[in-house]
Structure formats: structure tokens, C-alpha cells
Amino acid sequence: MTAKTHGYITKEIELDQIYRFILKWFDPAAKVNRYENKFGESNEMAVYFNYKGEERRLFAIVYKSRKFSKTGEKERQIFLDLGYWGSSVEIMKSIISYFSGWIDENDCDSEDPYYIEAHPEGVMPNIIKITRAELNKRMGGTVVIIDEEE
């Protein structure tokens, strides 16, 4: 099995908005293949684009799932699939941070997906994952995190 970087957009947007994002921010020459379901609805697409010299393919599909549902009912979401290599995490973070949603950096590891809020212009603050033990080691002692109000 090949490792993938996955994104899940849970708000109501159209697939074309993702394609337009890629055209604007990554590659103005990006190409898209759209696929229709048996009802004639365009609910899948593959976008081919260049990002920092990497030839990439992003697959997107609209479907209903209970994953990330707040009600437990099946809800509409857009699933994004990108091969896990090179700049895949950076690409997916940019897309997800523009629309908001969930990201699974590597679908083959044991890390859970995490939520990213929408940010202006898709610019997201740097997310650093670190264990408390590693943080203590890097800081040279025991780290106590306090709220800014204290």
C-alpha cells in the first residue's frame, strides 16, 4: 500500500473551488479531469499540477460519511487524496487551511487526523507536533505551560 496525505473538507463548497485555488496559488497551468456519477453529477475530479518542481495529482471526491460528523449522521464532505512524498503535507495544509477541515498527513501511520481552521488567504500558522518529553529536552528543563492571562 502506498502512503497518502488525506484532507477532508466538511463545509459546503464545490470541487471547482479547489481547482480554482490550485490555479491561483500553485499552478496557473493546472489541468483537471472531471468525472460524473450515474446521475450526471460531477462529484469527482483529478487535478494535475506542478508545485515547486513536483508533478502532482490531487484526487477529490464528494461523498457522505459519518467521519467528522458532529451529529453522527452521514454528512456531505470532500475527500482529498495526494501521494505522501515531497511537499504533500505542505500542499494539503495550504488547501485545508483555505477552506478549513481535517488533515491526515500520512494515512499509514498511527497519528490521527487533526482539524485546521480557515485562515485568510490560506495562510496557516506553523503547526509543530512535539511530545512533552521532547519539549523539555529541547528547552533544557521542565516546561510548564501557562495561559497568557495568568
pTM score, whole prediction: 0.75
148 within some domain: no
Per-residue pLDDT, 6: 96
Contacts of 72 (CB under 8 A, 6+ apart): 66
The pLDDT confidence band at residue 67, using thresholds 50, 70 and 90, is confident
Per-residue pLDDT, 129: 65
What residue numbers bound the domain in which 106 lies? 4-139
Overall number of domains in the chain: 1
> 81-129, pLDDT tens digit by residue?
999 999 999 999 999 999 999 999 999 999 999 999 888 665 554 556 6
Compute CA distances 29 → 32, 44, 77, 126, whole Å: 10, 20, 27, 28
Better-predicted residue by pLDDT, 128 or 37: 37
CATH number for the domain spanning 89: value is 3.30.310
Better-predicted residue by pLDDT, 68 or 117: 117
